[in-house]
Amino acid sequence: MTEKRSCIDCGALNCHTRDKAYPGFCPTTGTDAKTVEKVRKLYEEEENRKVSVISAEIENEFYLRYTRVEETIEFARRMGFKKIGIATCVGLIEESRTLAKILRNRGFEVYGAVCKIGSFDKTDVGVAEKDITRTSPVMCNPVMQAEVLNREGTDFNIVMGLCVGHDSLFYKYSEALVTTLVAKDRVLAHNPAGALYQAKAYYKKLLEDED
């Protein structure tokens, strides 16, 4: 089967530079005008427009100057958020406490929800016993994390190291906007991009076809 080409396969990136031709498979030129206009109109919605404008301002003013923590604080401040939720992995509780202190020192109200909240067993949702021998038998509960933060009325939620998939469920059920501050990677000190930077060296195996 021939895989359909997309932005990942593009060497021009003319959507960014606008100084050359678009490739024949480009979604920018291949999307019909009706869909383009439909998407454009979504940016006229009040929240979407505000987020877009403030994000662009922060990028312009602080590019290569602010850390992700500082950018997150600046975004929350300019958006007018007052109460910030932290959805944290239990393994990053100390880092989340530090983040909470930083946010509180800057005038935000903070409410945290740890991943094991509403504690119950993994086997309760159908996880096999053999699949919990190396880790805790207690189920991560991202849906409850979202529910608790929704109930608390947070304006903005920050994900701190939720597991792959658990983060997806949190995004799905969070009523407030969400950003990720830490993406969990226990092997690479929570720097998952490290595997990509080293893909042609130590992690060359990641580029090899699976049998």
pLDDT one-digit tens code per residue, 124-165: 889 898 888 888 899 999 999 999 999 999 999 999 999 999
Indicate whether 141 belongs to any domain: yes
Task: Kindly state whether residues 57 and 85 are assigned to the same domain.
Answer: no
- What the block records as the tokens of 75 is 């975004």
pLDDT tens per residue, range 36-63: 999 999 999 999 999 999 999 999 999 9
The answer to whether residue 44 is domain-embedded is: yes
Domain assignment present for residue 125? The answer is: yes
One domain for residues 162 and 58: no
Mark whether 147 and 200 lie in a shared domain. Answer: yes
Q: Are residues 55 and 106 in the same domain?
A: no
Output the pLDDT for position 114. Answer: 98
Domain total of the chain: 2
Give the Cα separation of 40 and 31 in Å (integer): 13
Do β-strands 156-160 and 177-182 pair in parallel, antiparallel, or remain unpaired?
parallel
Are residues 137 and 40 part of one domain? no
In a domain, 3, yes or no: no
Sign of CA dihedral 30, 35, 37, 40: negative
| Same structural domain, 44 and 114 | no
Distance CA 56, CA 50 (A): 10
12 is a domain residue: no
Do residue 61 and residue 103 come from a single domain?
no
pLDDT interval class at 1 (50, 70, 90): confident
Q: Which domain holds residue 58?
A: 20-65
- The per-residue pLDDT for 113 is 98
Q: Are residues 97 and 190 in the same domain?
A: yes
**Mean residue pLDDT across the chain:** 94
Answer yes or no: are the C-beta atoms of 99 and 158 closer than 8 Å: yes
Give the strand order in the sheet containing 156-160. Answer: 109-114, 83-88, 156-160, 177-182
Residue 5 clears pLDDT 90, i.e. is over it: yes
- The answer to whether residues 114 and 37 belong to one domain is no
Q: Is residue 2 part of a domain?
A: no
Q: Both 155 and 100 in a single domain?
A: yes
Determine the pLDDT at residue 178: 98
Residue 72 lies in a domain: no
120 and 153 within one domain: yes
Domain contains 167: yes
For residues 102 and 49, state if they share a domain. Answer: no
Give the confidence band of 115 by pLDDT, cuts at 50, 70, 90: very high
> What percent of the chain has pLDDT above 90?
82
